[in-house]
Structure 1
Amino acid sequence: SSPSSHLKVSCNSLSPPLFKTLSDIQSSGVIACLRAPSAELAIGAARAAITGGIKVLEVVRSTPGVFEVLRELVEEHPTMSLGVGTILNAEDAKHAIKVGAKFLMSPAMIKGSEVLYIPGVMTPSEILSAHNTGAKIVKIYPVSALGGVEYISALKKPFPHIPMVASQGVQIGLVGEYI
């Protein structure tokens, strides 16, 4: 299978911005997740990651000044797929979109987003529910606690048509097995 076989999805019904973000995720195979103790460290780490070749970057909501961090990164890299993770409510989703987020990730289901929304799911029922309510891609969370690569492989059997990304505890040496 190809390196991004878990991330194939038809993009025909998506708006151009959603199509670009989903295409960026599919082609990179990796969404870098950034959590930092300060805005300054977050910006520095993000710049280093981007310089190092990261194409899709998620800044976690718990990062101090996350929206200002995202705004600055969007100004520096307006065409890059930058997003906010661990969005727990509609207010944060709206704020993230306002400052330029191209995608939102959440451990919960937040409806009504005009950007690519990647809900966190754990069970087959949650995967199907998210897909049936319009999710174009789902985040399997917490993947390491659920069985890692083997769990994702098992989920792909009944859901080969639903793109999945692994989140939490993915070891660098296993990245290739996930993508």
Structure 2
Amino acid sequence: MSNLNARMGELKVIPVIAIKDADKAVKLAQVLSENGLPCAEVTFRTEAAAQAIRNIREAFPEMLIGAGTVLNAAQVDEAIDAGVDFIVSPGFNPTTVKYCQQRNMPIIPGVNNPSMVEQAMEMGLDTLKFFPAEPSGGVNMLKAMTAVYPVSFMPTGGVNPANVKDYLGVKSVFACGGTWMVPGNLIDEERWDELAELVKGVADIVA
């Protein structure tokens, strides 16, 4: 995980994408790569997710690609077969975590309270998703858990241009997940120039 954390830490923000048409994935990946965010967490909230990942991996073999909203072992298999570098889940499911560990696939499960952090640590995890970040207490909650636990967090859920630097200022945070630079309507309508501007904006904020 250390290499993965380092790569994510260099980017600081990980685009979280729900894509409906896998044929648009390569162009989206090109926009991300050319504008400073060569990474994508493609969520399994749509049926196009696995094929989108496969298309991106083929076109951009060096791009950092994750599968998000992974809820079970079958989706883990699907994501691995598509070529992901890591798995992200919204919550902490020990069964899914164990399966990823058996398959030597890094997983960043979601937690939002001390008990869940301790359960994750018990399974050898030290990189966790703080989700949903804003509803769960935001920066103040993260600071409180950072004071107690030797883990790294990726806050996601309510992170936006107005608060991303506050999250990144917490010492345990290596990167944030966000959707604001990849809104689904712009992807659906192939408004690539507008997406490019949003991605560039992220780079300017976190530079």
Q: TM-score, normalised by structure 1?
A: 0.82
Q: 2:152 aligns with which of 142, 149, 163?
A: 163
Distance 2:35 2:106 in 1: 24
5+ residue gaps, structure 1, are 1-17
2:95 paired with 1:112: no
Distance 2:121 2:26 in 1: 33
Q: Which residue of 2 aligns with 1:69?
A: 52
Q: Which amino acid aligns with 2:99?
A: G
What percentage of residue pairs aligned between the two structures are identical? 27
| SS class of match (1:32) | strand
Report the Cα offset of residue 97 of structure 1: 0.7
Aligned residue pair count: 161
Are 2:129 and 2:154, in contact at CA under 8 Å, matched by a contact in 1? yes
Q: TM-score, normalised by structure 2?
A: 0.72
Report the Cα offset of residue 56 of structure 1: 2.9
5+ residue gaps, structure 2, are 169-207
Report the Cα offset of residue 167 of structure 1: 0.8
Report the Cα offset of residue 154 of structure 1: 1.6
Are 1:39 and 1:64, in contact at CA under 8 Å, matched by a contact in 2? no
| SS class of match (2:159) | coil
Q: Which amino acid aligns with 1:120?
A: G
Q: Which residue of 2 aligns with 1:177?
A: 166
Instruction: Output one character per residue of 1:88-137: Cα deviation in whole Å (capped at 9) or x when no partner.
Output: 01011011011111000002321221221000111111012112202231
Q: Which amino acid aligns with 2:57?
A: V
Q: 1:125 aligns with which of 94, 115, 120?
A: 115
1:1-40, aligned counterparts within 5 Å? 18-40=1-23
Distance 2:37 2:46 in 1: 19
55-64 vs 120-129, which deviates more?
55-64
Are 1:57 and 1:82, in contact at CA under 8 Å, matched by a contact in 2? yes
Relative to structure 1, the CA distance from residue 47 to residue 81 in structure 2 (aligned partners, 3 Å threshold; closer, same or farther) is: same
Q: Which amino acid aligns with 1:91?
A: A
Q: Which residue of 2 aligns with 1:15?
A: none
Report the Cα offset of residue 41 of structure 1: 4.2
